[in-house]
Amino acid sequence: MDLLLLYLLLFLSFCIFLTQAHSAAVWNNVSDQQSLLGLKAQITFDPNNFLSGWSPNTSFCEWRGVICFPHVERVRALNMSATGSEGAISPLTGNLSSLQSLDVSNNALGGPIPPQLGRLSNAEELLLYGNHLEGDIPASLSGCRRLVTFAASYNRLQGSVPAELALLTHLERLVLGGNFLEGTIPSSLGNLTSLIELTLEMNNLTGSILVEVGMFTRLQTVYLHTNQLSGIIPSSIGNLSAMTDLELSTNNLTGPIPVEVGMLTKLQTLYLYTNQLSGTIPSSIGNLSAMTDLDLSINNLRGSIPVEIRMLIQLKRLFLHINQMSGSIPVDVDNNLLSGSIPYGIKNFQLLGRFVLRKNRLKGNILDEIGQMKSLGSLDVSWNQLSGGIPDSLGELQQLRRLVLHHNRFSGAILVGLSRCPNLELVDFSHNELEGNIPGEFLTSLKNIQFYLNFSWNFFQGPLPKEISTIVSAQAIDISGNQLGEEIPGVL
Ligand SMILES: *[C@@H]1O[C@H](CO)[C@@H](O)[C@H](O)[C@H]1NC(C)=O
Ligand SMILES: *[C@@H]1O[C@H](CO)[C@@H](O)[C@H](O)[C@H]1NC(C)=O
Ligand SMILES: *[C@@H]1O[C@H](CO)[C@@H](O)[C@H](O)[C@H]1NC(C)=O
Ligand SMILES: *[C@@H]1O[C@H](CO)[C@@H](O)[C@H](O)[C@H]1NC(C)=O
Ligand SMILES: *[C@@H]1O[C@H](CO)[C@@H](O)[C@H](O)[C@H]1NC(C)=O
Ligand SMILES: *[C@@H]1O[C@H](CO)[C@@H](O)[C@H](O)[C@H]1NC(C)=O
Ligand SMILES: *[C@@H]1O[C@H](CO)[C@@H](O)[C@H](O)[C@H]1NC(C)=O
Ligand SMILES: *[C@@H]1O[C@H](CO)[C@@H](O)[C@H](O)[C@H]1NC(C)=O
Ligand SMILES: *[C@@H]1O[C@H](CO)[C@@H](O)[C@H](O)[C@H]1NC(C)=O
Ligand SMILES: *[C@@H]1O[C@H](CO)[C@@H](O)[C@H](O)[C@H]1NC(C)=O
């Protein structure tokens, strides 16, 4: 019953489109067949013989990649995705007047997007991405009034994004990244209030981010990264309450990160790196509890990192390096100007895999709390002024592969707790003030060392336990600059 109803509905919508077609040409199964054969004729190389069965001796509804309407011999969908085809898209494709879905993605098709595609007034998706298409995006595509998805990313398209695309009021996905598009993002696109995905990354777009972006309340994904966009990030982005993924990195954006960013409570990825953003990181960022990836590195941000950042408990990747921040904070702040201590609360970063605080001016000790960052695979606090003992709790870090503590003032003995990390591949304790015997139990636990083990330039005392011989997979073991006894070679 349901199926019958579906057929009826499809048939009805088909009749509606027929009455809407006001071209002089007669669109029927004969014109569809001619158009498909015309399309085939423009394919110069078909390595998988995808089109070999496209021959008039069978109904085109049987042809590979062609889907007709039930009970009506007209093309509803054409899928030639990833067939390895070379050649061009025939202008006759525009004569498939009943076509709802065209997928020629991931081939090696060249030439232009035929302006005739704009006649596909029933098309809901045009998937042209991953080819070698060149020339402009035809403004005539605004004729595809029912278009929901237009994806032509990763081609060689030039010119600007046509303002006329604003007429596509049903558009939910505009996917044009990885081309040679230039000019500004037309403000008329602000009319596309149904947009869910806007991806224009890796082009040469200039101008500023539309203030109109605030109208896109359904937007979930915005990729504008790797363009030449300038100006500020408009505070109207605070309206984008559905947003999950915002990537504006590698542009020329200036001004502060708007406080309103804190209203994007569904945000999972925020990439603003490699811009010229200034000011401080707004504390409202602590509202973004769904965040997994935050990268604000390589900007001109100053001030301290807001303590609210600790509320981002889903965080897996966090990069803030090469800014001008001060103060103390729990995050990946490689080569920054951080001073102060590693703050309490870092245990909240249970999903963080890398924790890099290299080359800062941190003082104090490594908190016991780090032992609760259960996903930690890499801990690098080298080149700071950290002191005190290496906490036994690091033994709780079952995922830890790299432990890099060199060039600090860590003191005391290596505690046997560390022997509980089964996956260490690289350990560097060099240039600290560690002392006492190196426990044999610890050496036995290092059976997975793949890179090196560096104890050099501490105050370790001999004798070196015989368990050192169990470490066979290391590329180097460096014990120089200690008092481990003369019979021990410096570097094995
Ligand atoms: C078109 O449809 C008519 C009537 O069903 C049929 O006789 C004819 O063979 C079809 N032509 C093509 C090219 O499919
Ligand atoms: C395609 O459509 C155009 C414009 O309506 C028409 O002039 C042409 O004859 C059609 N071609 C075929 C093969 O149907
Ligand atoms: C249709 O014609 C092609 C050649 O054009 C041939 O290879 C194929 O076997 C024919 N199919 C049928 C069903 O006759
Ligand atoms: C086209 O076919 C491929 C598999 O061959 C599939 O992954 C893709 O989703 C199809 N496209 C459409 C629009 O259905
Ligand atoms: C952007 O424009 C510059 C200068 O016009 C050009 O050198 C560069 O290749 C362009 N890049 C892209 C991705 O279009
Ligand atoms: C966008 O909408 C405004 C009114 O909401 C209208 O004046 C303008 O012409 C529209 N632009 C386009 C390109 O559709
Ligand atoms: C935010 O959205 C509201 C409606 O939801 C709209 O009235 C307002 O103009 C938008 N603000 C901006 C800055 O776009
Ligand atoms: C980026 O902005 C700076 C300063 O505002 C300017 O000097 C530079 O030319 C801009 N670069 C581009 C590619 O727009
Ligand atoms: C976001 O954070 C700010 C500052 O932390 C706070 O004042 C505001 O109430 C929060 N807003 C929401 C929507 O949670
Ligand atoms: C051990 O560390 C010292 C100082 O940090 C360094 O000079 C040496 O090359 C390192 N040894 C190995 C084997 O990596």
Ligand 9 center from residue 262 Cα (angstroms): 7
Is the preceding omega at residue 112 within 30 degrees of 0, hence cis? Answer: no
CA distances from 440 to 15, 181, 298, 465, 482 (A): 83, 62, 44, 5, 17
DSSP letters, 166-197, are GG-TT--EEE--SS--EEE--GGGGG-TT-SE
Query: Would you call 12 exposed, middle or buried from its count of C-beta atoms within 10 A (0-12, 13-18, 19+)?
Result: exposed
Question: How far, in Å, from the CA of 2 to the mean position of ligand 1?
Answer: 28
Q: From the CA of 205, which ligand is nearest?
A: 5
Question: Does ligand 3 have an atom closer than 6 angstroms to the CB of 58?
Answer: yes
Helix (H, G, I), strand (E, B) or coil at 34: helix
Residue 60 Cα to ligand 4 midpoint, Å, equals: 19
The bound ligand whose nearest atom lies closest to the alpha carbon of 50 is 4
If one residue of 26, 29, 62, 71 were mutated to test the ligand 1 pocket, choosing by the most ligand atoms within 8 A of its CB, it would be 29
| Alpha helices, H only, 24-122 | 29-41
Residue closest by Cα to atom 7 of ligand 8: 252
**DSSP character at residue 429:** -
Q: Report pLDDT for 351.
A: 61
Going from the Cα of 39 to the center of ligand 3, the distance in angstroms, rounded, reads: 18
d(CA 223, CA 269): 11
Question: Is ligand 7 within 6 A of the CB of residue 215?
Answer: yes
For atom 1 of ligand 9, the residue with the nearest CA is 284
Beta bridge partners of 378: 354, 402
Contact assessment for residue 411 and residue 387, using Cβ atoms and an 8 Å cutoff = yes
Q: Which two tokens stand for residue 287?
A: 């509202």
Give the mutation target among 212, 215, 216, 263 for probing the ligand 7 site: most ligand atoms within 8 A of CB.
Answer: 215
Nearest CA to ligand 2 atom 5: 25
Helix (H, G, I), strand (E, B) or coil at 55: coil
Phi/psi at 244 (nearest 5 deg)? Answer: -115, -25
Structure tokens, 11? 């048939």
How far does the centroid of ligand 9 lie from the alpha carbon of residue 331, in Å?
21
323-332 contact pairs (CB < 8 A, 24+): 323/296, 323/297, 323/298, 323/299, 324/300, 325/281, 325/301, 326/302, 327/303, 328/304, 328/362, 329/304, 329/305, 330/355, 331/305, 331/355, 331/357, 332/356, 332/357
Predicted confidence at residue 381, as pLDDT, reads: 87
C-beta of residue 114 within 8 angstroms of C-beta of residue 87 = no
Which ligand neighbours the alpha carbon of 179 most closely?
5
pLDDT in tens for each of the 492 residues of the chain?
455 555 555 554 554 454 444 455 678 989 999 999 999 999 999 999 999 999 999 999 999 999 999 989 999 999 999 999 999 999 999 999 999 999 999 999 999 999 999 999 999 999 999 999 999 999 999 999 999 999 999 999 999 999 999 999 999 999 999 999 999 999 999 889 999 999 999 999 999 998 777 778 899 999 999 999 999 999 999 999 999 999 999 999 999 999 999 999 999 999 999 999 999 999 999 899 998 888 888 888 887 778 787 777 777 666 766 666 544 444 555 555 455 556 545 555 556 666 777 776 777 888 787 888 888 888 888 988 899 999 889 999 999 999 999 999 999 998 888 889 989 999 999 999 999 999 989 998 888 888 999 999 999 998 888 888 888 888 899 999 998 875 544 444
149: Cα within 13 Å, side-chain hemisphere: 13
Measured in angstroms, how far is the CA atom of residue 28 from the centroid of ligand 1?
9
Residue with tokens 């046509």: 162
DSSP annotation string for 344-399: TTGGG-TT--EEE--SSEEEE---GGGGG-TT--EEE--SSEEEEPPPGGGGG-TT
Q: Mutate which of 176, 180, 181, 202 to test ligand 5's pocket (most atoms within 8 Å of Cβ)?
A: 180
Per-residue confidence (pLDDT) for residue 272, from 0 to 100: 95
* Protein residue with its CA nearest to atom 14 in ligand 7: 214
CA of 33 to the centre of ligand 1 (A): 9
137 residue type, one letter = I
Residue 1 CB-half CA count within 13 A: 0
Give residue 19's pLDDT: 45
| Protein residue with least CA distance to atom 4, ligand 9 | 284
Full-model pTM: 0.74
Q: What is the pLDDT of residue 484?
A: 82
For residue 25 and ligand 2, the question of a CB distance below 6 A is answered with yes
Residue with CA nearest ligand 4 atom 5:
81
Cα 270 to ligand 1 centre (Å): 55
Residue 252 Cα to ligand 8 middle (Å): 6
Asked whether 230 lines ligand 8 (CB < 6 A), one says yes
Which residue type, as a one-letter code, is found at position 324?
Answer: Q
What is the distance between the alpha carbons of residues 271 and 269, in angstroms, rounded to a whole number?
Answer: 6
Whether 212 is in the pocket of ligand 6, judged by its Cβ within 6 Å, is no
CA of 188 to the centre of ligand 6 (A): 6
